[in-house]
Amino acid sequence: MVVKLGGAALDSDEALNFLARDLAVLHLVGMRPVVVHGGGKSVGALSQRLGLEPRFRDGLRITDSETMEVVEMVLAGSLNKRIAGCINQFGGSAVGISGVDGSLLRARRLSEELGQVGEVASVRTGLIEDLCRDGHIPVIAPVARTDDGAACNINADEVAASLAAALGAGKLFLVSNVDGVLDAEGALVSQLDAEGTRTLIEEGAIAGGMLPKVRCALKALDAGVEAVHILNGLHEHAVLLELLTHRGIGTLITRSGRGQP
């Protein structure tokens, strides 16, 4: 299983403790979680402290060389180690890495206008498989290099979906500070299949910040992942409740309407 952590779930010590405890429990009972994390708010905060005003285009951070240094300092440095350390505090054995390590990820630049912002070009899973086999929880920062060696910042949801597909993971968890997919009345939709999800997108019911998250979910399903869970990490035991209870607490998206695999 691949678990992506993002949003306010990373900004709150309490929420991070909730998630770290769940991941440690899953590891202790024999599961092999692989963690991917974002951290855009932390990057923005340090950028402003250093006098670098954050700039965005179409929701993506414009990343020049100075901003990329900050991205690496935060995502592959302080935040990555904070998450790994928190998991270890609860009895896990987490190892913090980035997509650069072991040539785990290869990036492709999205455009010249965005600077050092990329997408996943390829995945090599050997390092993750070795870490999991040796009893560790990989904690992965979404930073990678292009074929010419340039560092790139990649959307963490995309990294998580690509890793889940490459690893043959049965489940992908997208954890942030939103409860899941909401219907037109604002009520949580507990379960969807891929076809129903695409219909909601066409109708405009899924929009805004949820749209790229759901598109990553569909990408993962198309690549063979059996189920994607979108849930709110601010709730205590969010991952355990979503995984182990019948209805869960977020939105479950599967390839067909047959329910949770």
Domain that holds residue 7: 2-254
Active site residue 81: no
Out of 4, 6, 44, 101, which one is annotated catalytic?
4
pLDDT digits (tens, 9 = 90+) for 55-93: 888 777 899 999 999 999 999 999 999 999 999 999 999
Per-residue confidence (pLDDT) for residue 209, from 0 to 100 = 84
Number of domains in the chain: 1
CA 53 to chain centre: 25
The answer to the question of residue 80 being in a domain is yes
- Give the phi and the psi of residue 5 in degrees, each rounded to 5: -110, 135
> Is position 260 within any domain?
no
Residue type, 198: R
Q: What share of the chain in percent tops pLDDT 70? A: 98
Q: Say if residue 253 is exposed, middle or buried (CB neighbours under 10 Å; 0-12, 13-18, 19+).
A: buried
Annotated catalytic residue, options 6, 38, 39, 40: 40
117-123/105-109 β-pairing: antiparallel
Catalytic one among 39, 213, 248, 250? 213
Q: 204-232, pLDDT tens digit by residue?
A: 889 888 998 999 999 999 999 999 999 99
Q: Which of 157, 171, 179, 248 is catalytic?
A: 157
Nearest to 180 by CA among 113, 100, 234: 234
Query: Which of these, 159, 19, 170, lies nearest to 98 by C-alpha position?
Result: 159
C-alpha closest to that of 197 among 205, 188, 185: 205
Confirm whether 219 is a catalytic residue. Answer: no
Whether residue 149 is contained in a domain is answered as: yes
Within a domain: residue 134?
Answer: yes
Which entry of 7, 92, 115, 180 is annotated as an active-site residue?
A: 7
- Read off the pLDDT band of 40 (50, 70, 90): confident
Q: Tell me whether residue 4 is one of the annotated catalytic residues.
A: yes
**The token pair that represents 126 in the structure block:** 């050997």
Specify whether the CB–CB gap between 65 and 32 falls below 8 A. Answer: no
Residue 96 is among the residues annotated as catalytic for this protein:
no
Q: What value does the mean pLDDT take over residues 232-247? A: 94
- Report d(CA 45, CA 41) in Å as an integer: 6
User: Mean pLDDT throughout 177-201?
Assistant: 91
100 in a structural domain: yes
Would 259 be classed as within a structural domain?
no
Secondary structure letter of residue 36 according to DSSP: E
Is the residue at 87 inside a domain? Answer: yes
Output 208-212 pairs: Cβ under 8 A, ≥24 positions apart: 209/59, 209/178, 210/178, 210/181, 210/182, 212/59, 212/155, 212/157
Q: What is the CATH number of the domain that holds 75?
A: 3.40.1160.10
40 is catalytic: yes
Distance CA 5, CA 21 (A): 13
- Average confidence score pLDDT of the chain: 93
Does the pLDDT at position 257 exceed 70?
no
Residue 261 lies in a domain: no
